[in-house]
Amino acid sequence: MTIASPREIAERYARVCEEVGPAVTVVVATKYVSAQEMGALAEAGVAVVGENRAQDLEEKHALYGDVFHWHFIGHLQSNKVKVVNRVCELVHSLGSDSAARRVEIPALLEVNLSGEESKSGVAPGEIAPFVERYPLVRGLMTMPPLADDPEDSRHHFHHLRELAAEHGLTELSMGTSQDYRVAAEEGATLVRVGGTIFAPDRS
């Protein structure tokens, strides 16, 4: 895809940062941004990017290095952990023992709150033993079911916040372009936004 201009990206990024407040880290999801287009995000002053695929992460980091803080937000396969350990500061999507045994950086445990079979992550009842086994887990992440109304996500975000508090975890990665405002209201410390920042011709 062709992304918006650096000026437009900077304006949108600043607006999202203002809306969620200084306590929330805005992670710009770059799954649909090519390695070459990442330069526009750098020019716009984007600080933290989240990548979904280890191969793309490696390619983009080779070009931009420490221009960004790198997070991994996609499904983490155990055979891809090595590059994530080398490049990233945080994994948002830890969901299996096979990957957790290899992760050497702080991570968030993905929780499947809706019970959808298509969703990754552990069930709420699995949080305690997972956290006990892997002390690098700093918090929780979730992806609510797709919904037209952002308010439909609120009870999922509220539930995740309660689970984090119950297990003594402080970081909450929740909220995407469609519902990041609600996520911030419910205690998110990180929101993952993409198209709302860089999609072209967005009115």
DSSP 138-152: EEEE--PPP-SSGGG
At 118, is the pLDDT very low, low, confident or very high (cuts 50, 70, 90)?
Answer: low
Region 30-36: mean pLDDT is 95
Q: Is the pTM above the cut of 0.85?
A: yes
Judged against a pLDDT cut of 70, whether residue 76 lies above it is answered with yes
Structure tokens at 174: 């929740």
Measured at the CA of 87, the angle between CA 86 and CA 91, to 5 degrees, comes to 95
H or E stretch at 182: helix 180-185
